[in-house]
Amino acid sequence: MLLSKKYIDNFEARYHGDSRNKGLSVFDNGKSGMIFLISEAGQTLEHGIDQYQRLELAVFFVQQLSAALKTSYACTVVTLKSLYLIDTH
């Protein structure tokens, strides 16, 4: 749900500093799953996950974020949805 095409199309993040170039890219392939590309100093790792692993990853993110925020899972999901709506409007 949280990592579906509705919320994430493609995501890219880059950091360049002290010759330690780092990058993260996430590409959504619909029902086929997602691809993660992680790079550092010219070396790239690629990992693909299917739709079932994507659901497990979303659950893991919500659990970790809930623990960090010290809130229930439901409150965390509502917060994420609210932030998404604020960002898109």
pLDDT tens per residue across all 89 residues of the chain: 344 445 556 777 777 767 668 888 888 887 788 888 888 888 899 999 888 888 898 899 899 999 999 999 999 999 988 988 887 77
Phi, psi of 24 (to 5 degrees): -140, 130
Domains: count for the chain: 1
The answer to whether position 5 is within a domain reads no
Distance from chain centroid for Cα 47: 13
The answer to whether position 75 is within a domain reads yes
Rounded distance between C-alpha atoms, residue 83 and residue 7, angstroms: 11
pTM (2 d.p.):
0.60
- Domain limits for position 27: 10-88
CA count, 13 A, side-chain hemisphere, 57: 14
Cα-Cα-Cα-Cα torsion 45, 22, 53, 11, nearest 10 degrees, comes to -120
